[in-house]
């Protein structure tokens, strides 16, 4: 829709200019002193006509370049949004990867003894230190679970 | 943080730092007679001071090596985040 408006405006402007030049050329002009018209008698008009033609071409190229720049900008916006989303996802992902992952348990020692002890062990398999706060260990039978 | 039929609670405060890749023995706890499983939890914070919990439940066989093959119990016993 935007390009239609641009092209319609350009066509209207150029049509007005060329039409005005055409109407101007139809008007009667005073003949030169030698009784007929030559190319050099209308040098200013020819100059305006040629300049108008060049202006049309250059304007067309300018509009086309502007549209291409606009489209390139739109594509860059899409790429920038994707890069931003990737950066945000990465920033959210890093704490989960780098954090501490604590695990625990332990054996019962000594085996098959009358008085046994559960050795509470803890290990950190994460990439950063863990700040241990507290723990709890309880015993039960399978029926209670 | 706590779930399951048998809840755990941070009864035993233990302020310590566990380095990355490190292991540590915290305590020896007497095992009552005629028990089959031991369960518990660890409460800790990461480097962003976010609190996490690791729960475990282990079967106690006769040979002393605890096993993780406790079946038929609530999933919350092995909850961790």
* Residue pLDDT, tens place only, A32-48: 566 777 777 888 888 99
Question: What's the whole-number average pLDDT of chain A?
Answer: 88
pLDDT greater than 70 at residue B4 = no
Confidence of residue B3 (pLDDT cuts 50, 70, 90): very low
User: With an 8 Å Cβ cutoff, are B25 and A120 in contact?
Assistant: yes
Residue B48 backbone phi and psi in degrees, to 5: -95, 10
Residue A81's domain comprises 2-98
Contacts of A74 (CB under 8 A, 6+ apart): none
| Closest by CA position to A106, among listed B11, B27, B15 | B27
What's residue A89's pLDDT?
93
Please give the residue of chain A at the shortest CA–CA distance from B72. Answer: A145
Confidence of residue A15 (pLDDT cuts 50, 70, 90): confident
* A82 and A17 belong to one structural domain: yes
Report, as an integer, the average pLDDT of A48-75. Answer: 96
Shared domain check, A64 and A24 = yes
Tell me: do A22 and A83 sit in the same domain. yes
Write down the pTM of the prediction.
0.64
Q: What is the pLDDT of residue A32?
A: 54
d(CA B10, CA B29): 15
Q: What is the C-alpha to C-alpha distance for residues B81 and B62, in angstroms, rounded to an integer?
A: 31
Q: Per the CB < 8 Å rule, is A133 touching B43?
A: yes
- Residues on chain B touching A121 (C-beta within 8 angstroms): 23-26
Angle between helices A43-98 and A2-26 (to 10 degrees): 170
Q: Within this chain, do residues A81 and A93 fall inside the same structural domain, yes or no?
A: yes
Number of structural domains in chain A: 2
Average model confidence (pLDDT) across chain B: 86
A139, pLDDT greater than 60: yes
Q: Residue A119 pLDDT more than 90? A: yes
Cis bond leading into A110, ω under 30°? yes
Tell me the shortest Cα–Cα distance from B46 to chain A, in angstroms. Answer: 5
Angstrom distance (rounded) from CA A43 to CA B19? 91
């Amino acid at each position: 829709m935007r390009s239609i408006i641009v092209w319609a405006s350009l066509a209207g402007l150029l049509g007005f200019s060329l039409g005005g030049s055409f109407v101007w050329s139809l008007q009667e002009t005073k003949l030169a002193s030698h009784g007929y018209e030559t190319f050099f008698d209308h040098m200013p008009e020819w100059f305006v006509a040629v300049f108008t033609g060049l202006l049309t071409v250059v304007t067309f190229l300018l509009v086309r370049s502007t549209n291409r720049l606009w489209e390139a900008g739109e594509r860059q916006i899409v790429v920038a949004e994707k890069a931003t989303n990737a950066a945000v996802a990465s920033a959210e992902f890093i704490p989960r990867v780098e954090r501490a992952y604590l695990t625990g348990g332990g054996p019962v020692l000594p085996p098959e003894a009358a008085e046994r002890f559960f050795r509470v062990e803890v290990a950190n398999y994460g990439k950063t230190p863990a700040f241990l706060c507290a723990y709890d260990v309880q015993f039960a039978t399978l029926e209670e679970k | 943080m706590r779930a399951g039929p048998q809840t755990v609670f941070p009864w035993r405060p233990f302020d310590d730092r566990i380095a990355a890749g490190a292991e540590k023995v915290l305590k020896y706890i007497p095992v009552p007679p005629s028990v089959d499983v031991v369960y518990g939890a660890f409460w800790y914070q990461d480097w962003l001071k976010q609190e996490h919990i690791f729960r475990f439940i282990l079967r106690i066989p006769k040979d002393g090596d605890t096993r993780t093959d406790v079946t038929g119990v609530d999933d919350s016993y092995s909850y961790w985040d």
